[in-house]
Amino acid sequence: MVSNSSQSTVALWGPGSCQEPDFLDQYEVLRAIGHGEFGQVYLARHRLTGADVAVKVLKTETQDISDLSEPLMLRSLEHPNIVKLFQVMRTRKNLYMVMEYTGGGQLLEHIPPGGMQQEEACRIFRQIVCALGHCHDKGIVHRDLKLENIMLDARGHAKLIDFGFSTRFTAGQKLNDLWGTLAYIAPEIVLKQEYEGPPADIWSLGVILHCMLTGSYPFRGDTPQELLMRITLARFQVPSSVPVKARRLIRQILVLNPKKRPTVKQILQHPWLRQGEPCAPHPSSQALPTRPDPAILTMVFDLGFDPYQTWVSLAKRKFNVVMATYLILKHQQGQG
């Protein structure tokens, strides 16, 4: 499937952007693999463990660090379908976010002409919905849900990425800023109305599901203005080749009135999504370990770190070099 996101882009920085000694002491940069709205993303290798990681480099010289919400959001999220944060490193020039490397590419790249097989689409979409549900439970709205921000790992599991536009919300809170990617944004945002974050995220889910099952966007236009006009009318077609239950779900989500859109919990109860595997169990309220796994702790000790400092780093959620080493080893263990 070809992207029709009509999205803004950022300039790609050259290799020099992640050549600072403090960073290179810990990681070997392999190559650039993409970019988010606020920074370049590299594939790198953690020198101590040999693990491949994704590193997003945010230039703090040209951006107000207080405006960079992504590291703050990822610190509080721990879900099997959300990319894992390992380390946050700040230098004079850059802020480095070291994260799980998924390796399977964007969901966009896995959608053939005509759409995905129903069983695969159902499995992956359920994982996306579960990830978004965890965000909403934590009081976070993503605000840029799209196929390019959903990665697949080597096992074909969905991973939600790029929280650069995300923000915190409280129940009933109205937002009024314009964020997101044109093909996916809700009509109330297009109309510059105050809006609630969760229903706007839900709308984007509907666009994603339509794309997954049909291989095309529900709303298209030859110009950005035409695209936005069609979004505000919420008129679209779902091919008859899409199963009836899935068609009904798409139509329930892509409605003009945000109050009539289903919540995450209601979507997960829909008959089309109740077939197959359930959501992964939600992690406990204390997502990251304060009592380290003894086996992992031994490995961290063998790599030269004090066990007490490891415990302190985990307990205080420092996301420093010690915590990163522990989390990477733990992640490697989980990958088998």
Which pair of tokens denotes residue 93?
């020039």
Catalytic residue among 25, 52, 67, 144: 144
Pairing verdict, β 94-100 and 85-90: antiparallel
Question: Active site includes 153?
Answer: no
Q: What is the 3-state secondary structure (H, E, C) of the chain?
A: CCCCCCCCCCCCCCHHHHCCHHHHCCEEEEEEEEECCCEEEEEEEECCCCCEEEEEEEECCCCCHHHCCHHHHHHCCCCCCECCEEEEEECCCEEEEEEECCEEEEHHHHCCCCCCCHHHHHHHHHHHHHHHHHHHHCCEECCCCCHHHEEEECCCCEEECCCCCCEECCCCCCECCCCCCHHHCCHHHHCCCCECHHHHHHHHHHHHHHHHHHCCCCCCCCCHHHHHHHHHHCCCCCCCCCCHHHHHHHHHHCCCCHHHCCCHHHHHCCCCCCCCCCCCCCCCCCCCCCCCCHHHHHHHHHCCCCHHHHHHHHHCCCCCHHHHHHHHHHHHHHCC
> Binding residue per annotation — 260?
no
Q: Which of 124, 134, 123, 75 is CA-nearest to residue 99?
A: 75
CA distance 212 to 215: 6
Give the residue numbers of the binding site for ATP: 56
Q: Which residue numbers are catalytic?
A: 144
Give the residue numbers of the binding site: 56
